[in-house]
Amino acid sequence: MQDLLTIYLDRLHQGESETFQGPLDPSFLECKETELCFDAPVEIEGKAYIANDHLVISAHAKTTAKMPCIICNEMIFVPIEVTHFYHTKALEDCSSSTYHFAPALRDQILLELPRYVECEGGCKERDSVKRFIKNSSSEKEDTHFPFSGLEQLENLGD
Ligand SMILES: [Zn+2]
């Protein structure tokens, strides 16, 4: 099924376009890590054509990534969608009669990833983290106290 990511240039004629559609094995994304994992197939549909001396590939792709919640570290499903994948390649730079656009699509999919994710509807562990943040911010207030005291003195001077 990875064949969808290969464009056969010798079958493409000027002015004609070749359409492709289907699920792709997510292995081309090369992400099987603890912080980022793709298990679900990548649904893709698009077309390839030759315009002047360039190969043009335009497509729409979506899949689901798995990333850990920033708060509790639980793996959650994150829908990823590339609505306008548009890739061009000069024909003179294509060294063979096939062009494999997996690396370009991979880059685009990875760009769509959010920087961080949280459990849907708010992480249930958020409260315990909030308590921790609250404590550290009240310490911060203590360190600022001498300055607010100075301000009061200045006001008294006026
Ligand atoms: Zn969570």
As a whole number of angstroms, the distance between CA 150 and CA 142 comes to: 14
Q: Which residues contact 109 (CB under 8 A, 6 or more apart)?
A: 29, 42, 61, 63, 80, 82
* 116 and 65 fall within a common domain: yes
Distance 117 CA to ligand 1 centre (A): 8
* 38 and 88 fall within a common domain: yes
Question: Do 80 and 112 contact (CB within 8 A), yes or no?
Answer: yes
Distance 137 CA to ligand 1 centre (A): 22
pLDDT digit string (tens) for 142-151? 555 555 455 5
- Which domain does 51 fall in, by range? 2-122
Distance 26 CA to ligand 1 centre (A): 25
* 110 and 141 fall within a common domain: no
* 103 and 145 fall within a common domain: no
* 158 and 97 fall within a common domain: no
Domain count, the chain: 2
Distance 128 CA to ligand 1 centre (A): 11
pLDDT digit string (tens) for 58-83? 999 999 999 999 999 999 999 999 99
Query: pTM score, two decimals?
Result: 0.76
Say yes or no to pLDDT of 134 above 90: no
Separation in Å, CA 39 to CA 3, 28, 31, 148: 19, 11, 9, 55
Helices (H), ranges, 3-51: none
Say yes or no to pLDDT of 105 above 80: yes
Distance 35 CA to ligand 1 centre (A): 14
- pLDDT level of residue 3 (50, 70, 90 thresholds): confident
Distance 116 CA to ligand 1 centre (A): 11
Question: Do 70 and 95 contact (CB within 8 A), yes or no?
Answer: no
Question: Do 65 and 84 contact (CB within 8 A), yes or no?
Answer: no
